[in-house]
Structure 1
Amino acid sequence: METLLRPLAPRVLAALLRRHGSLEACEDAVQEAMLAAARQWPEQGAPDSPERWLIAVADRRMTDHLRSELASKRREEKVAAQALPEELLSPAADQEPVGEDDTLMLLMLCCHPSLTPASQIAITLRAVGGLTTAEIARAFLVPEKTMAQRISRAKQSIKAAGGQFHMPPVAEQADRLRVVLHVLYLIFNEGYKATGGPDLTRGDLTREAIRLTRTIGRVLPEDGEITGLLALMLLTDARRPARTRPDGGLVPLAEQDRSLWNRELIDEGVALISRALATSRLGPYQVQAAIAAVHAEAARAEDTDWRQIVALYELAEQLDPNPIVTLNHAVAVGMSEGPRAGLAMLVALQEDPRMALNHNLFAVRAHLLEMAGDTSAARDSYDTAARLTTSLPEQQYLQDRALRLRP
């Protein structure tokens, strides 16, 4: 049922926005229609046209909402005079065609520059991804009430900023698309490596990120960064079956059983990034995808071409300098040139306030120190990393590494 309903969410919302224009009210009506379908279809069977059924039910909810709102202002007679004909509320009513470009418009609306990244993610998952508020709250380890308030504030911010359901002006489209891709990237990362909780991964989030990126890729097939982001997601997600033990424990990349990697996703990802690199202007997501492809094409961990990865990270730092890229670059240098070379690159990061409480910095430092034979310092860094992470599988893995180094 979930796989049927979620792809329909943005299409139904687009149809309502065309007619009514209010994101907050329309999105609430779509959620009510989705819940009605989840209750009724398992027992009664899905209708011949699920999309039209959902649009009709959501439109009816929207109309009821408008009638109630107007009635509270004692305008019942005007509502009755302007009521929609009943045939427009029928599941068999003709509806305007909804295309995949509507999903892109919705994403751009949900990624409005007036919102914080956290709010952009939340409202994108709710309005475009079709996840319930409870599901989003669980994914980000906050109370449902808190997430509901965040989503409500996001809707109000979009309304106050004059956000509307249409493509932004041409001059703003490139910047807005860049925000959309970043939000999808963040959603995928949270699904692939949850920042907290008992589970290492959240498959619902990775699937949504991949689905939405595929959708806008079909709208803008010549955009190399969209293609690069999709390739990166596929190549990374291909490793998911090998990332956890049966008990849910983390398996690091070097120790994974590569026969478990999804070759179909790898083949598609390699083909996508090869095409993008050959035909498009180079961008950060393409470079990250190229790095993922190098890992994917190594039959064994020891076959990894670390020199090529170092060169790609040097390019990534030129295109999009940030501490996480530098951290990953240090790992590659440590694997290619020796752990002391990698540790030398971490010195500046340790003074960067953005990384002061980032457990990944201490985990990488611990790994490189262990490679260098400094077990005491490595143990301390593993312990620090374990204290800083809120992911239980990562915490257990780091604690186990530290325990192994105790005398």
Structure 2
Amino acid sequence: MQFSTFNLNENIQKSLDENKYISTTQIQEKVIPLVLENKDLMAKAQTGSGKTAGFVLPILEKWLGYNHPKKAKITTLVLVPTRELTLQVANTFEIFSKNFNKKPKIVSVIGGASIGDQLLDIQKGCDIVVATAGRLLDIINKKQIDLSTLEFFVLDEADKMLDLGFSDELDEILKELPENRQNLLFSATYPQKMLDIASKITTSAVKVEQEEEAPTVEKIQQRAIRVNSENRGPLLRHLIQSNDWPLVLVFMANKRASDNIAAKFRKHGIEAESFHGDLIQEERVETLEDFKAKKINVLFATDIAARGLHIDDITCVINFDLPRATADYVHRIGRTGRAGKDGLAISFITNENSEHFKLIEKRCKISLEKEVLEGFEPTGKAPVKQKGAQAVKGKRKSKKDKLREAQANKDK
């Protein structure tokens, strides 16, 4: 379907044309009409499906139809899990409202940046707030934001927010929102916790599901290379140098490992940096901009980069360390092969993680040949999985014993 089918405002259509948005994705085709019809939504959509434009475009279309007071009032609140996604969603609102005669005032509310500047932007008046939950709560607790005029509440990457312990924060935020609002929920998966949260937000949501022709993992060339754990660094340097990849995103298990290996690669003459949650916001923004501009060849990142990182030209994604959650495998490799380009994802399989990778294959419904490269042949065997010792009958306290013991402590 073409975007022109929706008969959006001519200034929105102009921005679509300028940014070469011609045909809709499946999720956009389903979501945009429903938002325009004032429906609450619960949409299941994978990363890279175009869902951000799916809610930004109709929200802007409806915003154009409002009577705007002299001082802007908040009509839209978008909650997202990470700072990077906050800035990208805010930028999408900016892009598609670029040609408006009167532009909406958009504020990003994130940790790691000056809360004073954010408070000032809000107090001056704004129309759209894109926020991470923690910083938004800081501002709510200071009683420095009025959400009583809200028309749209958007929860993006809801399942990822659950992983970050979002449920309690959401309860506090919902208390500040007016009951009469339109709710738009987007999630890549529907765990029970997600359904529980959805029931707190809306009871009348239209369920929308993306019907992909092929799973995301099947659209990207995937490889698995067996290697000893201590040889992963040399193997990675060999692959980068022999293939001359311009942009490589490497996923690491933790922040310290990301910093250490980036420093080692720089000593070998490779432009490398680390990217993780301990960086201040200015460093995070600068690092991503340098990576996009190809000033950085290799970016070593924690799973903070697994979702919401929209860089179209990433040549290859490397799972230096495997993700703990099997679902994150799909999100990680989805950083490559974007915008119709070819993508490549490589996972390093060691003796220690081989069983975990079998689980990833099973749950992602893939089966990869385990390659061995000359000069990096693995040695040794995977450790034998030990079964836990059987409980000895009669050694554990019974429930009655525990109750008696508790009562005896009270009586002392």
Where on the TM-score scale, by shorter chain, does this alignment land: which range? under 0.3
Report 1 or 2 for greater relative contact order, CA contacts < 8 Å, sequence distance ≥ 6: 2
1 or 2, which has the higher strand percentage? Answer: 2
Task: Considering fraction of residues, name the structure with more helix.
Answer: 1
Could you state the TM-score of these two structures normalised by the residue count of structure 1? 0.25
TM-score (norm 2): 0.25
